[in-house]
Amino acid sequence: MDEHSAQDENNKMDTTPLPVSLNPEVIESRNLAPEIELPQIFQKIVQERGNFRDLDETELEKQLEEEEDSSKAFSGKQDPYYGFTILPSQQEGNDVSQNSMNIHDYKKELVDYILIAQNECSLALDMTSLLLSKYKQSSSDTISPFLKSTVPPGSLGLERCHPPEAKESDSILAMCWKRKSLTSSKNLLFDAKERLSKVVDSEREYFQILSNVRDSSWPLVLSNKGGNYDVSVQYSALGGISLGLGLVRKDQEKQSYNFESGLVHQKASLRVDLVSSTGKIIASSKWNWSWGIQEEEDQLLVKIQSAQRVLLEMDVWNALLQEAQICENQGVVFTGDTIVLSCNPEFSLRIFLDTNTEESRQDPEADFLNVDQEEEYDYETKKLSQRCCDAVNAITHILFLQYCRNPNRKLQQAELAMVIDASAPQIIRPLIFYYAIHEEARQFQNWLQNEGIKFEYLPSYPWESAQDFLTFENFLLTNRLSLQWYLDLDSSLPAHIQHNPTLHGTEKTVWKYKDAYNFYKFSSVKNMCQYIEHARKQRGEVASNAIQE
Amino acid sequence: MTTTPSPFDLSNIQWRMPEWVQSVGGLRTENVLDYFSFSPFYDHKSNNQMLKMQSQFNALDLGDLNNHLRRLTGTQFVVTHERPPFLWIIQKQHRLNEQEVKPLSTYFVCNENIYMAPNAYTLLATRMLNATHSLQTALKKIENIPQYHPQEGYTYPQKISDNPSSQGKDLQETNKNENTNAENNVDYTFSAEDFSVVRAFMMSLQSLHNPAQTPSNP
């Protein structure tokens, strides 16, 4: 059935005078075999019009229109010279392709030339091998396989003959060739000298800059990267946790030297925000390094310094994140980019790494720009909260320095037993610790005031006795505090309370109550308050009894 | 040497005269020298020519010709090798006396074509020259591409091939195919790392397949 219909179609086709097939058999067979192989069709289409990959409908439509246009225009172009007009444009096209050659084209061409040379040599080898195979069996091994299969060995002969005439042009050619190649080698050497001396100049400049860098006491590190030696600057030289190496590279366009640090951020600084419960920023402090930058210095050194600062800030941030993971029981909530300390229901401290590239101004008022303008806080409160943020930020950095100072520090055995993760930095925990002590003390004070008890509060913080900065740092980490309270309970009975809060351990806070009769330990202020109330009541009863008697 | 100064190089031409061959009914050892005498390789001052003139009327057969040539001195053409009906080798020689002969050059008639046998030195030297030349050209092409820098070593700067959009419209049309090819080439240049994951995956697949196949094989 199919064949019949196909033949019918063929007959129909034949009735139309055009297009006349030059090879009717082929067309017939194609019609007779409609299930022509798909891979072949694909091959043909790809060959004709490229891949399907960047094919879309609009392009096809455009092409169709173009084809229609060209078929209309074709009648006009049907002159005998039509084919020749293509030739010059083709030549131009070749020129274009030569101009914009890329490496792969060069490689292809190189391979082509080498193939030509190889072909020539193997032809010569074929000939000589064939010639020699007449006299020596083994020489036929070097004949190419095709030649070996078609030509019997020993089929080439040789005979003595008169040497060919020496042509005059040969000697001229030889002389000119030699002269030309000598000249060209001279030019090549000169060019190479020019180029290399330029390279050496730029290298001298580079090493001059490197030695500048080294003179300003940045350590240089020689690193071997895939056989190439790179001199990199260790910009984390002054401290921090991670090692920062950066390369000094020449910027070809600007003709200046760049410092490639591999850091993600151009600028980074730790920012501490005091956020109210409604989510408004009351105060914020952005850590600002005020040391070491001298604008009149080398631009490159400034870049290295800023890279160092960024890396240090990132280290601080990472240390904070690391610590935040073990501080969840102390109300620390963290995501990847913020840490929220919410010790107080009213406020929370939000710490994050500010990578804003905008240059914040040096004056402290600039920080107020970040703060939401709120009417409910007066200037003094704002100033105070600002100072709080600044202090938190500063102490964070100080504690980080302390952490860096002995990265593999050995905790005391007793301390070690109480610490979950010994290697974690201690930055957030002391902060929370001191804040919690303060809160507790304030609570107690409030209670005492409400009860009308006279008291004397004698806190002795360890850093008060710090002689220098180093001891100050160490004292910030002191595990034990001793806070003294002197209470004047009724009728001149003094009570002495010793408050020994600790940073680690199950006994977070210990209140030791001591008066003339009793010595008790309480684990919380609440319990102690209850006891004091009880004691006062007892005392009152005793006193009233005494009066009755 | 009394050879005629050849107006052009005879070493690389092929000469044939099919109509003569047809008129005599094919080449044979007897008439191959006659055929040769029409070619530009033939020297009209040779002994052969002289003998031909002398024996214009009494036909001379080939054996007689060789005998006559032996008695003469000077340039002669003799058939040194024959393999009818396709191949004859003709030597041009300078006879000093009846015993001594000095070969000048060799020609061969192969399928009615006459060639001058190549000089081994010239042929090999030319081949070597060709090879050297193409190597030289290749080196000259690429010698300026790699750039040297003491820090980076040799690098091959990748030129960004500018689109020939500024070149004109009809040019673009004619270049369409070439351009698409070039673009495809650019697309296909993946670096080795692009496929590293895929390759690792294929390797793991292979290692999975192999133990499965080995038990079935024995």
Check residues B54 and A176 and name the one with the higher pLDDT.
A176
Instruction: Report the b/e string of A118-135 with b at 16+ CB within 10 A.
Output: eebebbbebbbbbbbbee
Residue A444: is its pLDDT beyond 50? yes
Q: How far apart are CA A498 and CA A515, in angstroms?
A: 11
Measure CB to CB from residue B134 to each of A104, A117, A164 and give the nearest one: A117
Tokens standing for residue A201 = 């100049």
Beta bridge partners of A275: A281, A348
Name the DSSP class of A54: T
For residues A289-303, give the mean pLDDT: 64
C-alpha distances (whole Å) from A265 to each of A311, A338, A396, A420, B149 are: 9, 16, 21, 32, 30
| CB-based contact B119 A161, cutoff 8 Å | yes
- B interface test, pick of A49, A55, A94, A120 with most B CB neighbours within 10 Å: A120
Let me know the angle formed at the C-alpha of B199 by B193 and B203, rounded to the nearest 5 degrees. Answer: 150
Instruction: Report the pLDDT value the prediction gives residue B172, as an integer from 0 to 100.
Output: 39
Nearest by Cα to A312 from A254, A239, A364, A381 = A239
The reported pLDDT for the residue numbered A179 is 95
Kindly report, residue by residue over A161-198, the tens digit of the pLDDT.
Answer: 777 777 888 899 999 999 999 999 999 999 999 999 99
What stretches of A376-490 show up as alpha helix (H) in DSSP? 379-405, 413-418, 428-451, 469-476
- Which is nearest to A383 in space by CA: A274, A288, A291, A278? A274
- Judged against a pLDDT cut of 60, whether residue A516 lies above it is answered with yes
For residue A36, with 0-12 CB atoms within 10 Å meaning exposed, 13-18 middle and 19 or more buried, which class applies? Answer: exposed
Per the CB < 8 A criterion, the answer to whether B85 and B27 are in contact is: yes
Q: How far is B116 from chain A (nearest CA, A)?
A: 12
**B150 interaction partners in chain A (CB closer than 8 Å):** 199, 203
- Would the pLDDT of A531 be above 90? no
CB contact under 8 A, A161 and B142: no
**B88, B175, B177: best to mutate for the A interface, most A CBs within 10 A:** B175
**pLDDT tens for each residue of B108-167:** 888 888 888 888 888 899 999 999 999 999 988 888 888 888 877 788 876 554 443 333
Query: CB distance from A225 to chain B under 8 Å?
Result: no
Is this structure's pTM higher than 0.80? no
**In this structure, which topology does domain A417-546 adopt according to CATH?**
Aspartate Aminotransferase, domain 1 (3.90.1150)
The neighbour count for residue A267, using CB atoms within 10 Å, is: 16
Domains and CATH numbers, chain B: 14-117 (3.10.450.580)
Contact: A228, B152; criterion CB under 8 Å: yes
Chain B residue numbers with beta carbons less than 8 Å from the beta carbon of A89 are 170-171, 174
Instruction: Give the gap in angstroms from C-alpha B117 to the nearest C-alpha of chain A.
Output: 9
Q: Domain locations in chain A?
A: 118-153, 173-211, 417-546
Taking contacts as CB-CB distances below 8 angstroms, the residues of chain B near A102 are: 158-159, 161, 186
ipTM of the complex model: 0.70
Distance between CA atoms of residues A83 and B168, nearest Å: 20
The CA distance from A346 to A492, in Å, is 39
Residue B15, SS3 per DSSP: strand
Name the average pLDDT for chain B: 74
The per-residue pLDDT for range A314-362, each reduced to its tens digit, is 888 888 888 888 777 777 888 878 888 876 777 788 888 877 765 544 4
Per-residue pLDDT at A504: 66
Q: Which two tokens stand for residue A432?
A: 């929370």
Answer yes or no: do B162 and A100 touch at CB < 8 A. Answer: yes
- Judge whether B130 and A117 are in contact, CB under 8 Å: yes
* Lookup result for tokens 């090493």: A207
The H-or-E segment that residue B136 falls in is: helix B120-142
Nearest chain A CA: its distance from B175 CA (Å): 6
pLDDT for position A363: 43
Of A104, A116, A230, which has the smallest distance from its Cβ to B189's Cβ?
Answer: A104
A264/chain B closest Cα distance in angstroms: 23
More confident residue, A384 or A125: A125
Residue A273 pLDDT greater than 90, yes or no: no
Percent of chain A residues past pLDDT 90, beyond the cut: 7
